[in-house]
Structure 1
Amino acid sequence: MTSAPPRYDGVDALLADARSRLDRIDVETAYREALDGALLVDIRPAAQRAEEGEVSPALGPLVVERNVLEWRFDPRSDARLPEASSDARILVLCQEGYTSSLAADALRSLGLDATDVVGGFKAWREAHLPTACPDRVR
Structure 2
Amino acid sequence: MTDSRDWGAEPVGIDELLERVRSGFTRIGPAEAATAAADGALLVDIRYAELRERDGLIPGALVVERNELEWRLDPQGSHRAPEAVSHDLRIVVVCNEGYASSLAVSSLHRLGLHRATDLIGGFQAWRAAGLPVTA
Q: Which residue of 1 is the match for residue 90 of structure 2?
A: 89
Q: Which runs of 5+ in 2 are unaligned?
A: 1-7
SS at match of 2:34: helix
Q: What TM-score, normalized by structure 1, do the two folds share?
A: 0.87
Structure exhibiting the larger radius of gyration computed from Cα positions: 1
- 2:3 aligned residue: none
Q: 2:56 aligns with which of 53, 56, 60?
A: 53
Output the CA distance in 2 between the equivalents of 1:36 and 1:48: 27
CA RMSD, 1 decimal: 1.2
Q: What is the distance in 2 between the residues matched to 1:43 and 1:8?
A: 26
CA offsets 1:31-59 (integer angstroms, 9 cap, x no match): 01101110000000111100122112xxx
Q: TM-score, normalised by structure 2?
A: 0.88
Q: Which residue of 2 aligns with 1:131?
A: 133
Cα distance between partner residues in 2 of 1:111 and 1:118: 22
CA distance in 1, matches of 2:19, 2:110: 16
| Structure 1: distance between partners of 2:41 and 2:9 | 36
Q: How many residues align?
A: 126
2:69 aligns to what?
69
Matches within 5 A, 1:23-42: 23-42=26-45
Of Structure 1 and Structure 2, the greater strand share is in 1
Q: 2:17 aligns with which of 10, 14, 18?
A: 14
- DSSP-derived class of the 2:51 partner: helix
Task: Find 2:119's aligned residue among 104, 112, 117.
Answer: 117
Task: Please give the alpha-carbon distance, in whole angstroms, between the structure 1 residues aligned to 2:107 and 2:85.
Answer: 16
Q: Which runs of 5+ in 1 are unaligned?
A: 134-138
The alignment partner of 2:19 has SS state of: helix
Structure 1 runs (4+) greater than 3 angstroms displaced: none
